[in-house]
Every structure is written in C-alpha cells, then in structure tokens.
C-alpha cells in the first residue's frame, strides 16, 4: 500500500521551547502512514533556504520519499506556536512561504507518479484546489483536509473540493454533534464520497450518505506524560485511512459500516499515541536566526 502527501510542508517553531520542528498537514499524513507500515512519499515545493533543507532532510529521515519534490527560490513556511498544558496554541505564520505561493502543477509526468499510489492526501494549506480535477481521473483515492476554519466551509469552497474527494476531513471540536452531522451531510451532498469529523475529546463521526458512524476518543489515562497535541488530527486521519486501505477500500469499493467502525477506533489509537511525540514527528533543532522576511499574520484559530 502506498500513500502520498501532496501539498504543504512547514516549520513549526515552538517559541516556548526555542526549537524548530518539521511538519505540515500533507507531510504529517505521509509520515504517519509510513509509521503505520505503509510505503509513503511527499510531493511538494521546498524553499531553497536553510529551513527548506532542514525540512527535506527531516522528512527523508522518516523513510518518506521526497525525490519528486521541487526546490524553488524563496523562504520556507514557518508557523509559530507555544504549548499550554499540553495543547498547542498557534501564534502566527508567514503564509506558507514559497510552498504555498508557487505550488506544484501536476503535469503528465507527475500524474503518472501520483497514479502509482493507492491514496493521495492534500489540504486547504496547500494551494492544490485547482489540481484536484486532474486527480479525479486516476484510480487513486483522494483525501482532503478541510480544517476547522469557516472560510473553507462555504458552499463555494466545498463545491471546489468535494466533487473530487473520496474523503474530506473536518475538524469539528467547536461544534456540537448535531451541527457536525449536518456539516458532514452537506459535504457528502456536494460530492464527497465520505466525510470524517474529529471532535477532540468528544470522539469522531464518519458519514457516507447512508451510514453515520460515531466512535469515542481514546482517553489519556496517565500512562505516560502528555507531550503536546501537535499532529493529533493528522494522526487520526492516517490511522483511519490506513485501516480502510487494509480493509479493501478502493475508488470502486467503498467501505461498509463495519470497516468504518474499525477505522474510527484505529484513528483514535493513532491520535492517542501521537500525544506522546514532540511536535509532529520530533526531529527538532534549536531555532536559529529568523529567516522569514514577509509580513506575519496573527491567527487565533486551530490550524
């Protein structure tokens, strides 16, 4: 089984630790799929600065292939954050740098490469929306992270993504279960094959237009000290899709209720285990002199 992360990479700069860590939604899903036994690769743009080299080397060190990525002149993406009682709090970012400003365009050669994977994952942080129709013609499952932000939940945006996605993920910890179910139904109604909502300590919900399956979160029982919650949503998604792939999920074979129930529990296990990892997947280094020159944008939402 082969999983591809297509889109964003970023440096997560923990200001309270003075450490830079590699990360990014699409990178994380690929790394976590590799951790769960899949073959995995990342496809995206690295900046040609020191942080870009750091990111590329750290991702490759996990066993995730990066050989088809592009390196372009410009700064790498950097987000700043701190940890409060184990929960990560985002402080700002530089817009994703050259990775988001000049994203990859999928030509025929890259589409052949993507088609060699069982699943490709992208996100709202990747600038990849325009490439999704190209993926729809492949026999490769497409998943897409719709984040928690309202700007990515408008009818117009959902219509750009959902018709081309076999699965969309929505972070819904700020919504009650009824509102979550309504949102999942809308995503499926607009074309997504399957919609998955993570709700933090309240568990997760999956909906495919016929079945709605709910599963609890796996609680932290004090067996180990909590490190931070960075990457937990990405880990849930990786655990969920790897479980479905192993159960036979394909573009022509949607999962049944039993497979969805198992996948929700496997996703919860993966998210639980991620709580004991520094940042997205460790491999941090002390923060060096800032290399970001563009205007930073304050954020007060969950990324």
Strand 204-207, strand 195-198: pairing: antiparallel
pLDDT surpasses 50 at 296: no
Q: Is the pTM of this model over 0.85?
A: yes
Q: Work out the mean pLDDT of the chain and round it to a whole number.
A: 93
pLDDT beyond 50 at 295: no
pLDDT above 90: percentage of residues in the chain: 87
pLDDT tens, 71-130? 999 999 999 999 988 788 889 999 999 999 999 999 999 999 999 999 999 999 999 999
pLDDT at 170 exceeding the cut of 50: yes
- Report yes or no: 215 and 203 within 8 Å, Cβ to Cβ: yes
CATH number of 2-279: 3.40.1190.20
Q: Say if residue 302's pLDDT is above 70.
A: no
Does residue 282 surpass a pLDDT of 60? Answer: yes
pLDDT score at 280: 97
pLDDT digits (tens, 9 = 90+) for 173-214: 999 999 999 999 999 999 999 999 999 999 999 999 999 999
DSSP characters over 112-180 = HHHTTSSEEEEETTTT-GGGHHHHTTSSSEEEEE--S-GGGSSHHHHHHHGGG-SEEEEE-TTS-HHHH
Output the CA torsion 157→160→161→166 (10° steps): 140
């Amino acid at each position: 089984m082969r999983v591809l992360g297509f889109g964003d990479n970023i440096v997560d700069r923990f200001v309270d630790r003075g450490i830079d860590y590699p990360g990014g939604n699409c990178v994380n899903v690929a790394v976590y799929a590799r951790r769960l036994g899949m073959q995995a690769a990342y496809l995206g743009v690295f900046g040609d600065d020191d942080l870009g080299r750091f990111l590329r080397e750290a991702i490759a060190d996990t066993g995730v292939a990066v050989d088809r990525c592009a390196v372009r002149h410009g700064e790498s993406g950097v987000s700043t954050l701190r940890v409060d009682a184990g929960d990560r709090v985002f402080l700002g970012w530089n817009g994703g740098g050259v990775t988001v400003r000049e994203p990859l365009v999928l030509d025929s050669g890259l589409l052949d490469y993507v088609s060699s994977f069982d699943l490709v994952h992208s996100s709202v942080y990747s600038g990849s929306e325009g490439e999704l129709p190209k993926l729809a013609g492949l026999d490769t499952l497409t998943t897409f992270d719709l984040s928690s932000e309202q700007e990515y939940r408008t009818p117009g945006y959902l219509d750009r993504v959902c018709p081309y996605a076999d699965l969309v993920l929505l972070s819904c910890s700020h919504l009650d279960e009824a509102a979550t179910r309504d949102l999942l139904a809308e995503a499926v109604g607009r074309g997504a094959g399957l919609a998955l909502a993570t709700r933090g300590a309240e568990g997760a919900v999956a909906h495919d237009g016929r079945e709605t399956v709910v599963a609890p979160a796996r609680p932290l029982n004090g067996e180990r000290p909590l490190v931070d919650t960075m990457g937990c949503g990405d880990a849930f998604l990786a655990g969920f899709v790897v479980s479905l792939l192993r159960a036979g999920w394909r573009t022509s074979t949607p999962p049944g209720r039993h497979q969805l129930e198992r996948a929700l529990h496997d996703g919860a296990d993966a998210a639980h285990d991620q709580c004991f990892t520094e940042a997205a997947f460790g491999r941090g280094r002390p923060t060096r002199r800032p290399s970001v020159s563009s205007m930073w944008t304050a954020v007060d939402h969950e990324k």
